[in-house]
Structure 1
């Protein structure tokens, strides 16, 4: 999507670009990020050190200490700008070229940033009275406008947009929001120096927006100030920097409180006619902008809910915003939201929109997704589906907490809790299956597809336990969880979990170039860990195919061909011939072999890959050239293989082989490589 961005403005080989300081701050190896290309040969002989630590929880724990999931341990005198003390955007001798992708991406900015706007942003930056921070040179006006355009290019590729681009004007926008948009655009560009500049600006904005709320309390009810605050949280949570992540994950509560106190969670706040037919031509521009502001606030509430839910899933914390609080009208259709001007907007708004309260509430949709069928011309179905999957994800998170408590109960109390959570698990799986089918037919999108598979995977495996077994909380915790997860690996719940993990891989391959980032990158990482743990424990433990009653509901699968184990064995082999188990391709479409594996445990699970020029790839990936070979299958007998394949998913999503991806993706890529070498 950003392949045509040309933003050379600094000499990356300049001595001023201190790689050592950055490595100290971000705990990653910038040089040689993608590393050697992976081949389809068997794993190369490891060094003696790796052989000595193979399967050792202590070695895995050491690998996790470099990851974003181990708690941040600040050093003495560690401060806000440690490792990022300076904004220095001095251009090289080569002039900064304009953004050639602007016409391709159709990102039109009305009243682009001028010198006065640049000065206002610079004033926000220099107002920080901190002698540990300095501005050697500030980005040019051309670069700032390019980064604002990059921000909208990123926004247009996502489902939950909250800033109305057609009415956006740099002249009428708070400098704090402009700074947030520039920072978000910078971290999305595949240029390491620009990413660093974006992270510094993010830190400046985090301090400036807090000072704004303290200095002017009315800003807590200002839409643009709230949008800037949410931007601070999003950049920080997915930055890959431990300090930024910890702060961002802890500050969703103030955001939710300000939105709630401003009335943004109230239905009555949005209850007013969009247009009246007899006044369509009167003050149309004013009414359009007023509608856009209300719709932007509505979508900001949704975006805050989505952010809260994704942070809860990605970092294993309880959500702050309940889906039951979303008693607001459903978002307007994308055709209304994206209308280029007031005339086109009025042409797309039907007369039925004049009726106050005609649109359903989001809570109505959460209760019955088919409610959208009655209001398909008044609702953004794709965004509504996006809210639904996150609401179901929150319910799955609550169930997992109940399951943790049930594990500590004893006697009759334990039996009662076990029966309850198994029943609830089946209900949630059925709800997810129905919602996934509805969204795939009415509002297909790669983000929705990956989210559904991820949530269904997390319903049948504790991803927190998976990470702790992998070494997140040290050697002792990893050893303590080994018996529990070994038992899990023999169950139908494990088979269901790895099936959806394979589907996460399948959908991740469909992401447009450079968009597999933020929470979706974490989703691929968690799927890889699930497959890795299953493979490690299954191969090291009992491998009998004795039938285990499935936890997953039979209604989720076609059971018309279900038979007893004896009849299946009798149909497939004689008493003297060995049983030939089919290859179960976890990252391909569902078929009879998959259903037999999920319900009966029959088959050999594995993953598919394509080979091209000695590398893994697949049709349509940004690194593929020409037509790769037919897909090949490899079973999960090699526990390193899921890690290997996940790293290639990240590598193939990059636009170029030498692309500087986000720090979060880099951290994940390195951690997967460390665990792969220890498998």
Structure 2
């Protein structure tokens, strides 16, 4: 029998001893771990296990392809069974060693020592490619154990073929053990593909989910996010703030937030308030100007409420809380939006517990009389201001909550049915600068002391608003009455979701009849309210947008629509696909597309710089409805669905139906029977564009938002910019995958 060391590729053995009685059995001895081997190939493989540790600390030239071939003569690669869920794979035949379940690395020829590229060959099945070291990290490679997708610990995971424990594998220091215990990140784990599987492509829903990750609707918090993370951005462009304030004052309360001018003494007190705020991590680098502090002073609330809980009944604290929530809800910053959505219920609860929604708090009527002197008039004026402020704060809370429900697609916290406070008086009475002016304005109206109608009566019969005296704030009342229909629309959609999965035919038939009657009644009531309430106030566009959005959501739920668009991921998108196909076959989707087009038509008439916040979100929801209708039209047109194409749509003979135009016989035929080719008017020339051209449709929707601002003098709000980016991404998707 030939000696084992005569095999090619066996490293020289410095020490050989006789093993027991058999003099022919030569034993190979390792000086490093005092271990013996009977076969030379086992000994050679054992000596190679020390190479990865040495390569981590001592730069060495690469092992060439020739050396790799020589090494493979005494170590044949084991067959690795792909196991995606396990970190190790068991080799075949009589070799009991463990191999790493990853594809073999390609051994590149050595270029030069300056490249610092190292390839350490364990065997042909496992190769570790060591990346060049960053000088800033020093020589401690254990701090980053992952190199080019492989861990340096792979060399320790190959026990000898004899099945005996190697005592050298236990000679590790604490740092090495800690490095071994680190989990492999998911983003650098090598993927295991079966033979013939080929590259995988992302599904359309998963790609759309990536778009929503960049939108303002999804936020993934990290450990660095906190309440003081934005203190380093305290300095702002005051010219931009002043520009937006000048435009917003045309449609909001005039005058300053505080009754007095912010002077140097007031600024010093605000400075003390800032520095007294606990847990501030960033020092104040630059103090803002006095005009900016006048707007900033509304937001410091948390510390005062925690110190004195009686402030939850303080009117100014509740008002400041609501202002902070309303600003953050439409800020476009993900963290602020999510936190504001969470804390919106707090001021609503404060007002409810305070009794601001009920009529009992306003049982005492406060009106001036002609014979009142100056002191009596002043006292009545201040008492009336507090009473009217509580009333308007409650109204503002209801509007904010309903708008948040429409934009964020969540259940509302309150409803108009809960609102029983008296109606607000006219704006010129509310904005009277002094007690004398307040008294003169009220007396000029000839006010009576009759009890005003309830909010619910106006919502059920909007014509009551026409008979109200002129000393009521009809614009605000009409806005609240129109928003009140959203609670009923949400309840209807909840009933649809609740009874949709019912399998009992008798119960299902009764439920369908009930829901159908409810749907028909809501459509009539919202339509009548839109016509009646739009005549109240100088600008009817905001009331009309809310009405069209309620009618659109009454036919196609925006929550299911965004779910199908990929907001919640691929799996959730698949659960709503069949539902949207049912809406596509019936009149629901066509009706929703019509109202979505009307929203874009009305949005073009909104005054400059006013198509923002809630109104901008409604435009986004409308564009998403048109986008989904276009995609389903492409899909069903490709499949040739006879249920969809009952008319001449998409066959080259149908008439063009402008969804953003006036109501005509063609639009009615499209909504009821699917006749015609629906589309939008786009561009400065208002050319017709079918809904199947989703890229142009989404671009036109972005232009509606963009044209409301002057890009030369104004910057887009962050919320608008984020939504326009999302709309652009959705419009650029590949329609061939549908």
Give the TM-score of the pair, scaled to structure 2. Answer: 0.66
* Per-residue deviation, residues 347-372 of structure 1 (Å, max 9, x unmatched): 33258876555222223322322222
Of stretches 259-268 and 432-441 in structure 1, the one that deviates more from structure 2 is 259-268
Secondary structure of 2:261's counterpart equals coil
Which residue in 2 is equivalent to 1:257? Answer: 349
* Per-residue deviation, residues 385-406 of structure 1 (Å, max 9, x unmatched): 1111211011101111110011
Determine whether 1:632 maps to 2:687.
yes
Secondary structure of 2:284's counterpart equals strand
Which residue in 2 is equivalent to 1:588? Answer: 661
CA contact (8 A) 1:586 1:606 kept: yes
Of stretches 520-529 and 590-599 in structure 1, the one that deviates more from structure 2 is 590-599
CA contact (8 A) 1:273 1:355 kept: no
Of stretches 535-544 and 57-66 in structure 1, the one that deviates more from structure 2 is 535-544
Task: Give the deviation of 1:479 after TM superposition.
Answer: 2.7
Task: Give the deviation of 1:469 after TM superposition.
Answer: 1.1
Which residue in 1 is equivalent to 2:472? Answer: 379
Matches within 5 A, 1:320-469: 320-350=413-443, 356=449, 358-411=451-504, 412-443=506-537, 444-469=539-564
* Per-residue deviation, residues 233-268 of structure 1 (Å, max 9, x unmatched): 112211222222222112222212211222212212
Task: Give the deviation of 1:334 after TM superposition.
Answer: 2.4
Q: 2:636 is matched with which residue: 541, 565, 574?
A: 541
* Per-residue deviation, residues 117-136 of structure 1 (Å, max 9, x unmatched): 22232233222222423311
CA contact (8 A) 1:87 1:135 kept: no
Q: Check 1:654–1:278 CA distance in 2 against 1; reply closer, same or farther (3 A cut).
A: closer
Distance in 2 separating the partners of 1:288 and 1:524: 42
CA contact (8 A) 1:461 1:497 kept: yes
Determine whether 1:58 maps to 2:192.
no
Which residue in 1 is equivalent to 2:328? Answer: 236
* Per-residue deviation, residues 57-99 of structure 1 (Å, max 9, x unmatched): 22111111111222x32223432233x232553999x9x9999
Which residue in 2 is equivalent to 1:89? Answer: 235
* Per-residue deviation, residues 432-484 of structure 1 (Å, max 9, x unmatched): 00100101233452211111111111111111111111111111222332222
Select the structure with the greater relative contact order (CA < 8 A; seq sep ≥ 6): 1
CA contact (8 A) 2:683 2:700 kept: no
Distance in 2 separating the partners of 1:439 and 1:292: 27
Q: 2:581 is matched with which residue: 486, 489, 505?
A: 486
Q: 2:316 is matched with which residue: 199, 224, 247?
A: 224
Task: Give the deviation of 1:533 after TM superposition.
Answer: 0.4
Distance in 1 separating the partners of 2:720 and 2:247: 26
CA contact (8 A) 1:273 1:354 kept: no
Which residue in 2 is equivalent to 1:619? Answer: none
CA contact (8 A) 1:87 1:136 kept: no
CA contact (8 A) 2:277 2:303 kept: no
Task: Give the deviation of 1:419 after TM superposition.
Answer: 1.6
Of stretches 466-475 and 343-352 in structure 1, the one that deviates more from structure 2 is 343-352
Which residue in 2 is equivalent to 1:606? Answer: 679
* Per-residue deviation, residues 469-511 of structure 1 (Å, max 9, x unmatched): 1111111222332222122122211111011100111111112
Distance in 2 separating the partners of 1:104 and 1:602: 46
Determine whether 1:514 maps to 2:613.
no
* Per-residue deviation, residues 533-561 of structure 1 (Å, max 9, x unmatched): 0110012115668699xxxxxxxxxxxxx
Q: Check 1:115–1:523 CA distance in 2 against 1; reply closer, same or farther (3 A cut).
A: same
Task: Give the deviation of 1:112 after TM superposition.
Answer: 1.7
CA contact (8 A) 2:325 2:340 kept: yes
Q: 1:475 is matched with which residue: 563, 570, 577?
A: 570
Distance in 1 separating the partners of 2:279 and 2:206: 41
Which residue in 2 is equivalent to 1:620? Answer: none
Which residue in 2 is equivalent to 1:27? Answer: none
Which residue in 2 is equivalent to 1:78? Answer: 225
Of stretches 593-602 and 225-234 in structure 1, the one that deviates more from structure 2 is 593-602
CA contact (8 A) 1:400 1:462 kept: yes
Task: Give the deviation of 1:270 after TM superposition.
Answer: 1.7
Task: Give the deviation of 1:514 after TM superposition.
Answer: 2.0
Task: Give the deviation of 1:276 after TM superposition.
Answer: 4.2
Which residue in 2 is equivalent to 1:120? Answer: 269
CA contact (8 A) 2:689 2:697 kept: no
CA contact (8 A) 1:331 1:380 kept: yes
CA contact (8 A) 2:366 2:383 kept: no
Of stretches 393-402 and 442-451 in structure 1, the one that deviates more from structure 2 is 442-451
CA contact (8 A) 1:280 1:346 kept: no
Secondary structure of 1:279's counterpart equals coil
CA contact (8 A) 1:406 1:417 kept: yes
Which residue in 2 is equivalent to 1:294? Answer: 387
Which residue in 2 is equivalent to 1:665? Answer: 720
Determine whether 1:212 maps to 2:212.
no
Secondary structure of 1:135's counterpart equals coil
Distance in 2 separating the partners of 1:128 and 1:117: 17
Which residue in 2 is equivalent to 1:500? Answer: 595
List gaps (5 residues or longer) in structure 2. Answer: 1-199
Q: Check 1:433–1:273 CA distance in 2 against 1; reply closer, same or farther (3 A cut).
A: same
Determine whether 1:266 maps to 2:414.
no
Matches within 5 A, 1:134-149: 134-144=283-293, 148=295
Determine whether 1:678 maps to 2:733.
yes
Secondary structure of 1:442's counterpart equals coil
CA contact (8 A) 1:285 1:342 kept: yes
Of stretches 109-118 and 382-391 in structure 1, the one that deviates more from structure 2 is 109-118
Distance in 2 separating the partners of 1:441 and 1:101: 26
Higher helix share: 1
CA contact (8 A) 1:277 1:351 kept: no
* Per-residue deviation, residues 168-215 of structure 1 (Å, max 9, x unmatched): xxxxxxxxxx623xxxxxxxxxxxxxxxxxxxxxxxx3xx41221221
Secondary structure of 1:672's counterpart equals helix
CA contact (8 A) 1:326 1:362 kept: yes
Distance in 2 separating the partners of 1:508 and 1:99: 19
Distance in 1 separating the partners of 2:487 and 2:244: 40
The total of aligned residue pairs comes to 523
List gaps (5 residues or longer) in structure 1. Answer: 1-51, 149-177, 181-204, 549-564, 570-577, 612-628
Q: Check 1:661–1:121 CA distance in 2 against 1; reply closer, same or farther (3 A cut).
A: farther
Task: Give the deviation of 1:340 after TM superposition.
Answer: 4.2
Secondary structure of 1:653's counterpart equals coil
Distance in 2 separating the partners of 1:436 and 1:478: 33
Q: Check 1:255–1:277 CA distance in 2 against 1; reply closer, same or farther (3 A cut).
A: same
Q: Check 1:293–1:278 CA distance in 2 against 1; reply closer, same or farther (3 A cut).
A: same
Give the TM-score of the pair, scaled to structure 1. Answer: 0.71
**RMSD in angstroms over aligned alpha carbons?**
3.1
Determine whether 1:645 maps to 2:700.
yes
CA contact (8 A) 1:432 1:456 kept: yes
Q: Check 1:258–1:382 CA distance in 2 against 1; reply closer, same or farther (3 A cut).
A: same
